[in-house]
């Protein structure tokens, strides 16, 4: 039964490779079916996750585990990716297929890369080891760099480049912080051992600061939010929709792992810092959104402010706050994708 834990990840990866192979051999007129293949794979992974994946369990010596929080996040990632694939079809196929292909590139690679980043998020949710955590995070973010630059124009190229440079910086800060935790734990990489570290050590708080900065980029927490507006504006609109929900969900999962599993004993000492970050993020995000004239930039600063609301859940006792954060994330995914659906439909109809 424990083998079922990894079933959604295997289905998503299998679908991604199936799309790549199918794209090599099918005729051009049949290539719109690749989008439906991606939708079918994501739907199958979600249904099987609900029907067969147990709510508790672990594999690979505890490095891959499932609990109720992980289960909910996996469903969120799959649902967000499924809706994004549906929203991408009209954009990629377009009313004029040749023009759409010349502007947005080839469809098979787009859907495959989208599925690879979903697989990274699914593995990230179940990671219980530093190596697994970091590799999953890179599998999540590197495809997003490519998707942000997918549209063939200067704005999209700039968006992808900014996302790549600042994402690499955030990953470096996070990796440096995790490396310090690894050294303090005497070479242990499992999150349980890291959760027993002594917070009296100054190096512990240096690592905590580096980790907070790395997570701040993923969550678009002020002052690590500067990339969001330009990347949201330049990326293809379905990718922007996906970034606004799935990327934030992945950042929240990463925050759960690092703040509850590693910094859990010291989380009370971070209350003031988290409160300041939350208040600043909410204020800056909402005030900056008021001045925007571009709808995608407005949604970018909306996403910034939502990050402030989400991290408020880390203030106080986690046992009471976790369900509230997950519920808020579910509502955020549904409403944000609804807004972006309206934006995409309007854009396709009017060209504006």
Mean pLDDT, residues 257-268: 79
Question: Considering just the CA atoms, what is the radius of gyration of the chain in Å?
Answer: 20
What is the residue-wise DSSP string for 10-75?
HHHHHHHHHHHHHHHHS-GGGTTHHHHHHHHHHHHHHHHHHHTS-SSEEEGGGTEEE-HHHHHHHH
Q: Tell me the three state secondary structure of residue 149.
A: coil
Q: How many Cα neighbours within 13 Å face the side chain of 69? A: 24
> pLDDT tens-digit profile of 44-59?
999 988 888 777 888 8
State both tokens at 212. Answer: 């907070």
Does residue 280 carry a pLDDT above 90? yes
The span from the CA of 93 to the CA of 106, in Å, is 10
> pLDDT tens-digit profile of 71-118?
888 999 999 899 888 888 876 655 434 444 445 555 788 899 999 999
Mean pLDDT, residues 308-337: 83
Q: What was the pLDDT predicted at 96? A: 37
Q: How many Cα neighbours within 13 Å face the side chain of 96? A: 4
Per the DSSP assignment, residues forming a β-bridge with 129 are: 190
Mean pLDDT, residues 140-162: 84
Q: What was the pLDDT predicted at 92? A: 65
Helices (H), 127-153: 130-148
150 or 77, higher pLDDT:
77
Does residue 151 carry a pLDDT above 70? yes
Could you tell me if 57 and 65 are in contact, meaning their C-beta atoms sit under 8 angstroms apart? Answer: yes
Neighbours of 216 (CB within 10 A): 23
Model pTM score: 0.88
Q: What was the pLDDT predicted at 11? A: 92
* Strand runs labelled E in 167-252: none
Nearest to 263 by CA among 209, 339, 310, 302: 209
> pLDDT tens-digit profile of 2-19?
567 888 899 999 999 999
Backbone angles phi, psi at 176, to 5 degrees: -65, -45
The span from the CA of 244 to the CA of 301, in Å, is 10
Q: What was the pLDDT predicted at 102? A: 44
Q: 3-state DSSP: the chain helix, strand, coil percent, rounded to 5? A: 80, 5, 15
Q: What was the pLDDT predicted at 43? A: 93
Angle formed by the axes of helices 271-290 and 295-311, to 10°? 160
The span from the CA of 310 to the CA of 274, in Å, is 11
> pLDDT tens-digit profile of 191-220?
888 888 877 788 888 888 888 888 888 888
């Amino acid at each position: 039964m424990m083998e079922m834990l990894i079933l959604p990840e295997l289905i998503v990866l299998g679908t991604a490779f199936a799309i790549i192979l199918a794209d090599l051999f099918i005729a051009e007129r049949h290539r719109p079916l690749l989008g439906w293949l991606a939708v079918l794979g994501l739907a199958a992974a979600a249904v099987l996750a609900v029907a067969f994946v147990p709510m508790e369990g672990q594999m690979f010596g505890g490095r891959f585990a499932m609990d109720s929080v992980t289960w909910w996040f996996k469903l969120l990632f799959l649902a967000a990716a499924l809706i994004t694939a549906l929203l991408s079809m009209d954009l990629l196929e377009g009313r004029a297929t040749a023009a759409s292909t010349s502007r947005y590139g080839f469809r098979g690679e787009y859907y495959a890369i989208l599925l690879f980043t979903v697989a990274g998020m699914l593995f990230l949710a179940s990671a219980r080891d530093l190596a697994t955590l970091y590799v999953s995070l890179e599998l999540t973010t590197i495809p997003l760099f490519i998707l942000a630059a997918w549209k063939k124009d200067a704005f999209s190229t700039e968006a992808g480049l900014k996302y790549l440079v600042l994402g690499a910086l955030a990953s470096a800060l996070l990796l440096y912080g995790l490396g310090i935790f690894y050294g303090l734990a005497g070479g242990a990489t499992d999150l349980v051992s890291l959760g027993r570290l002594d917070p009296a050590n100054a190096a512990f708080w240096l690592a905590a600061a580096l980790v907070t900065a790395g997570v701040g980029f993923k969550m678009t927490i002020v002052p690590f939010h500067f990339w969001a507006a330009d990347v949201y504006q330049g990326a293809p609109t379905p990718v922007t929709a996906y970034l606004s929900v799935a990327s934030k969900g992945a950042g929240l999962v990463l925050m759960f792992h690092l703040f509850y599993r590693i910094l859990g004993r010291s989380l009370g000492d971070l209350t003031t810092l988290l409160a300041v970050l939350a208040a600043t993020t909410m204020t800056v995000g909402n005030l900056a959104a008021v001045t925007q004239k571009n709808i995608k930039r407005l949604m970018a600063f909306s996403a910034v402010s939502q990050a402030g609301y989400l991290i408020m859940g880390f203030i106080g006792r986690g046992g009471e706050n976790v369900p509230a954060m997950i519920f808020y994330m579910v509502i955020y995914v549904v409403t944000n994708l609804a807004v972006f659906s309206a934006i995409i439909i309007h854009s396709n109809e009017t060209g504006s």
